[in-house]
């Protein structure tokens, strides 16, 4: 189903794009997770309105998973969501590109529940690469643009954290300074 560039569905997609870019510009793990959960929830509605239930379901799973990770850091919960993503993959993935998204979702699930700081962001960058490859293979212009910008924003923030705090990313969660724009320096 195609939609006008200013339809409700597309406008929700633009909002999700903004939330996704803002998420990966955050130094704070908590703000990153809140914005990723928000982006995913908006994307669930976006894909539902576009008539793409599999993408809607995966986005909704990601929203729930990321929201839970704000309060709970449990290996069993990570395993549960990996199993859910794998089941969705078995049921819905019909091409190798479809499995790229499952792999990316599984990797980001482990990152969200079991990692912090730079390791978490590096795993999420790998996940973004999986989604980017899927979107290029699928010829999704908007999806490829979103994942490209998220990859750049995340990589820039990884470098900012690395050089500001050291390679271990210690103290990232306690950061209260607002994020600087990655391209502007003073």
Per-residue pLDDT of the chain (186 residues; tens, 9 = 90+): 445 778 888 888 888 888 988 998 888 999 999 999 998 999 889 878 877 676 777 889 999 999 999 998 889 999 999 999 999 888 887 777 778 888 998 999 999 889 988 999 999 999 999 988 876 776 666 667 788 998 998 999 999 988 887 555 555 444 433 333 333 323
Judge contact between 132 and 148, C-beta under 8 A: yes
For residue 186, the model assigns a pLDDT of: 30
Name which of 148, 75, 83 is nearest 114 in CA terms: 75
Rounded to whole angstroms, the maximal C-alpha distance in the chain is 51
Q: What is the pLDDT of residue 46?
A: 83
Q: Model pTM? A: 0.75
Q: Is the dihedral of CA 12, 17, 20, 25 positive or negative?
A: negative
Which of 61, 63, 57, 55 lies closest to 35, judged by CA? 63
């Amino acid at each position: 189903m195609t939609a006008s560039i200013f339809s409700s569905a597309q406008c929700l997609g633009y909002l999700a794009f903004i939330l996704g870019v803002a998420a990966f510009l955050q130094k704070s793990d908590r703000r990153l997770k809140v914005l990723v959960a928000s982006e995913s929830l908006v994307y669930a509605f976006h894909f539902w309105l576009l008539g793409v239930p599999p993408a809607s379901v995966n986005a909704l799973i990601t929203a729930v998973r990321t929201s839970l990770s704000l309060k709970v850091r449990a290996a069993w919960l990570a395993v549960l969501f990996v199993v859910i993503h794998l089941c969705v993959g078995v049921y819905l993935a019909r091409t190798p590109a479809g499995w790229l998204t499952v792999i990316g979702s599984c990797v980001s699930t482990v990152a969200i529940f079991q990692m912090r700081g730079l390791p978490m962001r590096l795993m999420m960058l790998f996940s973004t690469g999986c989604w980017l490859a899927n979107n290029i293979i699928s010829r999704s212009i908007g999806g490829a643009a979103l994942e490209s910008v998220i990859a750049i924003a995340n990589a820039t923030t990884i470098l900012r954290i690395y050089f500001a705090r050291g390679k271990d990313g210690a103290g990232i969660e306690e950061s209260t300074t607002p994020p600087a724009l990655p391209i502007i320096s003073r």
